[in-house]
Chain A
Amino acid sequence: GQQVMQIPQYQHVQEGEDFTTYCNSSTTLSNIQWYKQRPGGHPVFLIQLVKSGEVKKQKRLTFQFGEAKKNSSLHITATQTTDVGTYFCAGYSNTGNQFYFGTGTSLTVIP
């Protein structure tokens, strides 16, 4: 069945280092959305990408949607302690009315 995998599952970085999480879907997605979930909280929307090859930036965060619309990445430059949380990619499959969340990457930032 449809799967959306993210790697790595966990990442520990020193404050100021960069961080990247990769998202891979087994099938084409109509769009990709990224969410951040703090411990004990609920997912909070970060950004949506729709077009093949699209790249968007939000301050220190850079998001990319792959050409085949099956993969995506989130890159954080110079991490800060406020970046701590789990980052999820998510999107609608073109093959059915289902919305899939990725497995998530948990980011720990060491001050």
Chain B
Amino acid sequence: ETGVTQSPTHLIKTRGQQVTLRCSSQSGHNTVSWYQQALGQGPQFIFQYYREEENGRGNFPPRFSGLQFPNYSSELNVNALELDDSALYLCASSVDRNSPLHFGNGTRLTVT
């Protein structure tokens, strides 16, 4: 059984740039969700995708967007990066919407 994998591990971007983060879900999971975790805080829900459709969204601006592909892998895109976007971005997959989350190791994004 393959777990959740995220790429890249670390990323440094400049304010105003755009970034794409990638996530491969665990085998057998059709739901993917993304979280932003600032240092010393709890994960903040960005959005969730179920069978390629957005199934819920947190309080994040439209410059945070995502996709889920037919193989249930997913991308998180962030446009017009701001300094406050610096955080650990976690992807989690689950069997369905209400099931336990299986997290990847995250992507550490630094915006300078």
Q: A42-B90, A88-B42 are in contact. Are A99 and B100 (CB under 8 A)?
A: no
Q: Does the CB pair B45–A100 fall under 8 Å?
A: yes
How many interface residues does B have (CB within 8 Å)? Answer: 25
Tally of contacts, chain A with chain B, CB under 8 A: 54
Q: Does the CB pair A97–B103 fall under 8 Å?
A: no
Does residue B2 face the partner (Cβ distance < 8 Å to A)?
A: no
For the complex, what is the distance from the CA of A31 to the CA of B101, rounded to whole Å?
13
For the complex, what is the distance from the CA of A42 to the CA of B35, rounded to whole Å?
11
Contacting B90 at CB < 8 Å: which of A43, A92, A99, A102? A43
Q: Which residues of B contact A101 (CB under 8 A)?
A: 35, 42-45
Q: Does the CB pair A43–B57 fall under 8 Å?
A: no
Does residue A33 face the partner (Cβ distance < 8 Å to B)?
A: yes
How many interface residues does A have (CB within 8 Å)? Answer: 23
Contacting A97 at CB < 8 Å: which of B56, B59, B102? B56
Q: Does the CB pair B57–A45 fall under 8 Å?
A: no
Does residue A104 face the partner (Cβ distance < 8 Å to B)?
A: yes
Q: Which residues of B contact A48 (CB under 8 A)?
A: 99-100
For the complex, what is the distance from the CA of A53 to the CA of B103, rounded to whole Å?
28
For the complex, what is the distance from the CA of A91 to the CA of B102, rounded to whole Å?
14
CB proximity to A under 8 Å, residues B33-74 = 33, 35, 41-45, 48, 55-59
Q: Does the CB pair B101–A43 fall under 8 Å?
A: yes
CB distance from B6 to the nearest CB of A (A): 9
Does residue A44 face the partner (Cβ distance < 8 Å to B)?
A: yes
Q: Which residues of B contact A92 (CB under 8 A)?
A: 97-98
For the complex, what is the distance from the CA of A31 to the CA of B105, rounded to whole Å?
25
Does residue A111 face the partner (Cβ distance < 8 Å to B)?
A: no
19 example contacts (A-B, Cβ-Cβ < 8 A) are as follows A1-B59, A30-B98, A35-B101, A41-B105, A42-B90, A43-B103, A45-B100, A45-B101, A48-B100, A92-B97, A97-B56, A98-B56, A98-B57, A98-B58, A99-B45, A99-B56, A101-B42, A101-B44, A104-B41
